[in-house]
Amino acid sequence: MSRMKTAGWTLPILIIGLAGLLSGCAPTTLKAPAAPEDPVIVAVLDHGRHSSLVIPSDPPGHWLRYSYGDWSFYVERETGPGAMLAAVFASTPAALGRQELEGVNLNAAVRGGLRVPLEDIHHIEVPATRARALVEKLEAIWEDGADERVDSDTWGMSFVGHPDAYTLRHNSNRVVAQWLESLDVEVSRKPILSNWRVEVP
């Protein structure tokens, strides 16, 4: 095999090897705070490779789902090899996704409102004050980017720019883990893939 052909196969082999390594990762364990004051339920949604977070909103029966991801992939729908490689190996512009859900039953609201695959829902009790603070923080980002908001029928969400660039080490799952830590949830590891387990405190 020529050196040119060998070089041509190097990158795909590396990517396949990386995917195999990541697929064998153990679950990320989430431990809810013990006896949180004025508890509310949040939900981590496992979409297979990616995650999003659902937080209660006002009035009761209203929920906000947030996600984080690569702008090209989520918003511009650039899903070819070049865009995927850039999202994995480079630092790229990021997006904050937002969706409003309605329903007294959280699971029913999620399943009725999603337009993307859902593999699992993980419920966690957290302090209401922490949940409100996180919503305020994410809504501030949302308001800052409102003039350039992009609505996506494909994802069933609306997107604005996020100030923190997307990288493999700062992907949707790691950002969801950061959001959970701000809710006083103990996160066992910094996840690359969406593979969660909730431990009862």
pLDDT in the model for residue 81: 60
pLDDT in the model for residue 36: 93
114 residue type, one letter: L
- Low-confidence stretches of the chain (pLDDT < 50) are 1-17, 19-21, 23-24
Place of tokens 């994995």: 88
Task: Report pTM.
Answer: 0.84
Beta pairing class for 39-46 and 120-127: antiparallel
Cα(75)–Cα(73) distance, rounded to whole angstroms?
6
Q: Is the dihedral of CA 51, 65, 175, 190 positive or negative?
A: negative
Cα(8)–Cα(110) distance, rounded to whole angstroms?
43
Cα(175)–Cα(191) distance, rounded to whole angstroms?
9
CA atoms lying within 13 Å on the CB side of residue 36:
22
Tell me the pLDDT tens digit for each residue of 14-54. 444 454 445 446 899 999 999 898 999 999 999 998 999 99
pLDDT in the model for residue 47: 95
**Six token digits for residue 170:** 């700062």
Q: How many CB atoms lie within 10 A of CB 60?
A: 7
129 residue type, one letter: T
Cα(170)–Cα(154) distance, rounded to whole angstroms?
23
pLDDT in the model for residue 140: 98
15 residue type, one letter: I
Does residue 68 contact residue 94 with C-beta atoms inside 8 Å?
A: yes
